[in-house]
Amino acid sequence: MKIIFKSPKGIPDILPSEQKYWDFVKKIVETRSMAFGFEKLELPIFEDAKLYQKGTGLSSDIVQKEMYEVRRLGAENEEDEKDVKFALRPEFTPGVCRSYVEHGMFTRPQPVKLLSIGPLFRHDKPQKGRFRQFNQFNMEVIGNSDPLTDALLILLVWQIYADLGLKNEVVLKINNTGCKKCQPKIRKNIIAALENSRTRLCVDCQNKIYTNPLRVLDCKNESCQKIVANLPHIIDIICPDCKKHFMEVLEYLDELKVPYDLNPFLVRGFDYYTSTTFEICDKKDPTKKATLGGGGRYDNLIALYGGNDTPAIGFAGGFERIIDRIKEIEVKVPETSKTDIFIIQIGKQAKKIALNLIADLTEKHYHVSCAVGKDTLSSQLKVANKVRAKLAIIIGQRELLDKTVIIKDMRDTTQETVEMTELEGVLNDKLQREE
């Protein structure tokens, strides 16, 4: 065998053996968010690049260096491709807000709660927990500014990570990065403080001082971190309204018994964030880079896209990093691809009976499998064992004549002969047996 094609760098396949983890996370996210009144929203995989330039922000890493352009091969000179540049979606929030405005969701009872799940694309250096195509669950609550909304979203997030078995593995970090009114003051204060230590910052941060000073707070470079530790706390600079909002959020979290860590230097990578910001961090991640999720308020984004002034808050969690962590601590995950019944036939006549049985049982929603191309009992039983079938139905010459089948319980290897007419009842009894 010669491998001719490989998946692109940083874009892994999600193999059948991995599916149970994905199903596990998806099910928890969907069940928990539906309980809070979320509805599903599916978005295009690519959109007008300007959506992200305007929303995520020109000074963000995503827009500056991580977005993939989408173009039809050979379309450079065509009229319809000239004015719009499409980008593979690097995050969900701009698309959700675009959809909210485009489809007049402001006419529905507010807040509108939307859940999106799917792949995103960012050109980053592939490494553990960092891919070029990765998957998120993304929850947005649009149309309410009450601190209670922040607390309820954070409660939902906390419930999800607890259900995932990660309650003791993660810490919820929270901060408030100010509103439109106080952000210029925060910027000014941070720039002034950073200017004093400018030459000791890494080159990247030196370049960011005037374009995106808050991103310096997020730099993982050790010398930058030392400088950041002495910067003024954003919470001490924010306006009284933001302070009040923040205190109320914390009060509600205390009431709900959701544990949190106040982090005065927590900032997020997108330009639209205002007020409450929070992250789910892995307690054991020494790099402090690999968050398992993050979110916050973005009270100006809907208006930026042409909607009315509409406050909103959201959160996105990363499947790959969550699944990595679940595997590391060996969370028990249910098997999802299962074969309940394995059909074994011996002889040409039996094959036809087996065929009809497969048609009948699958029609009735049993999970059925067989070993096509294998004719001996032992070779078929071997496959039944491999796919961990619960029951095997064996049809041989004798059974054909008697209009019976043998049911072998693969879990304890007992077997019995059953009349065809009684087959379904016996199958149901056996399948209902506790594992």
Chain centroid to CA 325: 13
DSSP 149-198: HHHHHHHHHHHHHHHTT-TTTEEEEEEE---TTTHHHHHHHHHHHHHTTG
Q: In terms of CB distance, is 120 or 394 closer to ligand AMP? A: 120
The two three-digit tokens of residue 253, written as one number: 């979290």
Q: Determine, following the binding rule CB under 6 A, whether residue 174 of this chain makes contact with ligand AMP.
A: no
Q: Determine, following the binding rule CB under 6 A, whether residue 55 of this chain makes contact with ligand AMP.
A: no
Q: In terms of CB distance, is 242 or 322 closer to ligand AMP? A: 322
Q: Determine, following the binding rule CB under 6 A, whether residue 297 of this chain makes contact with ligand AMP.
A: no
* Residue carrying the six token digits 């009315």: 308
From the CB of 177, what's the least distance to ligand AMP, in Å?
A: 14
Cβ contacts of 373 within 8 Å, gap of 6 or more: none
Q: Determine, following the binding rule CB under 6 A, whether residue 25 of this chain makes contact with ligand AMP.
A: no
Interface stretch with ligand AMP, choices 45-53, 130-138, 365-373, 391-399 (CB under 6 A): 130-138
Total chain residues near ligand AMP (CB under 6 A): 17
Q: Determine, following the binding rule CB under 6 A, whether residue 165 of this chain makes contact with ligand AMP.
A: no
- In sequence order, what are the beta bridge partners of 415? 408
Q: Determine, following the binding rule CB under 6 A, whether residue 325 of this chain makes contact with ligand AMP.
A: no
Using Cβ positions, the residue closest to ligand AMP within the complex turns out to be: 318
Task: Please pick, from the candidates 24, 134, 273, 342, the single residue that binds ligand AMP as defined by CB under 6 A.
Answer: 134
| Strand, helix or coil for residue 60 | coil
Chain centroid to CA 115: 10
82, amino acid identity: K
Interface stretch with ligand AMP, choices 38-46, 123-131, 338-346, 394-402 (CB under 6 A): 123-131
Q: Which helix (H) or strand (E) holds 118?
A: strand 112-121
Q: How many CA atoms lie within 13 A of 90 on its CB side?
A: 27
Alpha-carbon span 404 to 406, nearest angstrom: 7
From the CB of 331, what's the least distance to ligand AMP, in Å?
A: 17
Q: In terms of CB distance, is 292 or 313 closer to ligand AMP? A: 292
Interface stretch with ligand AMP, choices 168-176, 199-207, 292-300, 323-331 (CB under 6 A): 292-300
Helices (H), ranges, 329-371 = 348-363
Alpha-carbon span 224 to 265, nearest angstrom: 12
Q: In terms of CB distance, is 54 or 351 closer to ligand AMP? A: 54
Q: Determine, following the binding rule CB under 6 A, whether residue 252 of this chain makes contact with ligand AMP.
A: no
DSSP classification of residue 215: G
Interface stretch with ligand AMP, choices 45-53, 288-296, 352-360, 399-407 (CB under 6 A): 288-296
Task: Please pick, from the candidates 60, 136, 149, 345, the single residue that binds ligand AMP as defined by CB under 6 A.
Answer: 136
Alpha-carbon span 310 to 132, nearest angstrom: 32
Q: Is the peptide bond before 111 cis (omega within 30 degrees of 0)?
A: yes
Residue 250 has a CB neighbour count (10 Å cut-off) of 19
Give the x-and-dash track for 210-249 against ligand AMP (CB under 6 A).
----------------------------------------
Q: Determine, following the binding rule CB under 6 A, whether residue 124 of this chain makes contact with ligand AMP.
A: yes
Q: Determine, following the binding rule CB under 6 A, whether residue 158 of this chain makes contact with ligand AMP.
A: no
Within 303-322, the residues that bind ligand AMP by CB under 6 A are 316, 318, 320-321
**Residue 341: phi, psi to the nearest 5?**
-125, 130
Give residues in contact with ligand AMP (CB under 6 A): 91, 122, 124, 129-131, 134, 136, 269, 291-294, 316, 318, 320-321
